[in-house]
Amino acid sequence: MEFKNNVEFKVYGKYALFTDPLTKIGGEKCTYQIPTYEGLKGIISSVYWKPTIIWIIDKVRIMKPIKTQTKSAKPVIYSGGNSLSIYTYLADVEYQVQARFEFNMKRKDLEQDRNENKHWYVAKRMIERGGRRDIFLGSRECQGYVEPCKFGEGKGHYDDIPELAFGLMFHGFEYPDEGDNVNLIARFWWAKMKNGIVEFPSPYECTIKKLVRPMSSQNIQSIGLAEEGLLEGYEEQEARI
């Protein structure tokens, strides 16, 4: 990248549910204690997404105490009958996030859209406006809110704690159009927090991986082009403001 393209923002909400999607098939759900890389990538992608770029999450700062709260839920059982599950959420969360983007070099069809300055300014503007789409903290029932911030400002609850380890955690997905051309792969890493800050390894540095299933990159690109078309009119309107 020729220019600096870091963005910083604050995201907060009443509840959050960050889980390992591989174990989130059904039944009871229990959150991780800290956000996952994929969860934060989903948040910034809701703020501003284009198939030309890939968002990279560098680090997250935990601002409030880690607290959990359990809720009863009745999941939909399409085969009939009733069931009761217990979901464990994070309660009253606030995070500061630092992220950047890279161009998706596998998308040769979008070479003409590799304008670093344009994407950076639009992303900054979308953060100021709270995002283009609804913000969810790991799960659709956990509404979140995004605001601009300066990473490191203010007092965080864990600023004075040298290190906390969280064990093996889900990192994120490697999609066919971003990595392997024919497979969907899940990445994992050994998570730790130092003085309230979790620094994520880049997707290229994760060595613990699991094959989820074969998937064609053409399917991903088709979805992306469809979404691009839906957002095209909105982006033109934003450019005129």
CATH number of residue 126's parent domain: 3.30.70.2660
Residue 2 lies in a domain: no
**Residue 128 belongs to what domain range?**
7-240
Contacts of 48 by beta carbon, 8 Å cutoff, 6+ apart: 119, 122, 123, 126, 127, 131, 132
DSSP-derived secondary structure letter, 101: E
**Cβ proximity of 156 and 63 under 8 Å:** yes
For 57-84, b where at least 16 C-beta lie within 10 A, e where not — what string? bbbbbbbeebeeeeeeeeeeeeeeeeee
**Number of folded domains in the chain?**
1
pLDDT tens-place string over residues 84-133: 888 899 999 999 999 999 998 888 888 899 989 999 999 999 999 999 99
For residue 138, tell me if it sits in a domain: yes
Q: How far apart are the first and last CA of the chain?
A: 27
pLDDT tens digits for range 38-54: 999 999 999 999 989 99
Q: Which residue did the predictor score with more confidence, 142 or 1?
A: 142
Answer whether residue 72 shows pLDDT above 80: yes
Tokens of 216: 């064609």
